[in-house]
Amino acid sequence: MIEFVWAEDQKHQIGLDGHLPWRLPADMAHFKEKTIGHPIIMGRKTFMSLPRLLPQRKHIVLTHDQDLKKKYQDNDQVTIINSIAELGDYIQNHQGEKLCTVGGVSIFKALLDQVDVLEKTEIDATFEADTVMPEIDYDQFKLVKKEHHEADEKNKYPYTFFTYQRKIKSIK
């Protein structure tokens, strides 16, 4: 099962210079809750933006960077995948397992027709950003959970957690 986990602002923006344009501790906790114990699929730029390897998660990184592959060749927490086809094989070999896709845009686009669950944090603000989430046809998904939160002393912006499940998986 493929699940997208991301946060976006009111203009569907998700990043600035390879990082999140906001600080929202509740979203970080939500991200951890949704991904802990599951493989996380990402591109090289997203991987490099992480402060460190995230505990209790296997990092599946799509990249052609051979230096990165060498660096992590003996690390069981990181698997370097060199192509979309190889990623497809990985997904096929892990059917029935929750695989969390966490970015970037090219990875979201590549898996858009295969995603089963969307875990979106929508931040009620607009930020300076240079990266926009690919367009998702929400008609193919059913909203199963919505949880709104107002700004507080730790979270400067109001935000809403949405969970969507695909109605009928497309056949490719």
What local confidence, expressed as pLDDT, does residue 168 receive?
77
- Rounded mean pLDDT of 22-45? 97
pTM of the predicted model, to two decimals? 0.94
pLDDT classification of 37: cutoffs 50, 70, 90:
very high
- Give pLDDT tens digits for 96-133: 999 999 999 999 999 999 999 999 999 999 999 999 99
Residue 172 pLDDT greater than 60, yes or no: no
Classify residue 171 by burial, with Cβ atoms within 10 Å: 0-12, 13-18, 19+. exposed
Q: In 10 A of CB 74, how many CB atoms?
A: 7
Q: In 10 A of CB 125, how many CB atoms?
A: 16
What local confidence, expressed as pLDDT, does residue 24 receive?
97
- C-alpha 111/C-alpha 89 separation (Å) is 13
Residue 13 pLDDT greater than 70, yes or no: yes
Which sequence spans correspond to the domains of the chain? 2-166
The chain-wide mean pLDDT, for the chain, equals: 95
DSSP state, 19?
B
Q: In 10 A of CB 77, how many CB atoms?
A: 12
**Token pair 């370097």 in the structure block, residue:** 80
Residue 169 pLDDT greater than 60, yes or no: no
What local confidence, expressed as pLDDT, does residue 146 receive?
98
CA-wise closest residue to 172 among 102, 110, 122, 99? 110
Compute the chain's Rg from CA coordinates. 16
Among 3.40.430.10, 3.30.70.580, 3.90.1300.10, 3.30.465.10, name the CATH number for the domain at 2-166: 3.40.430.10
- C-alpha 16/C-alpha 127 separation (Å) is 9
Classify residue 5 by burial, with Cβ atoms within 10 Å: 0-12, 13-18, 19+. buried
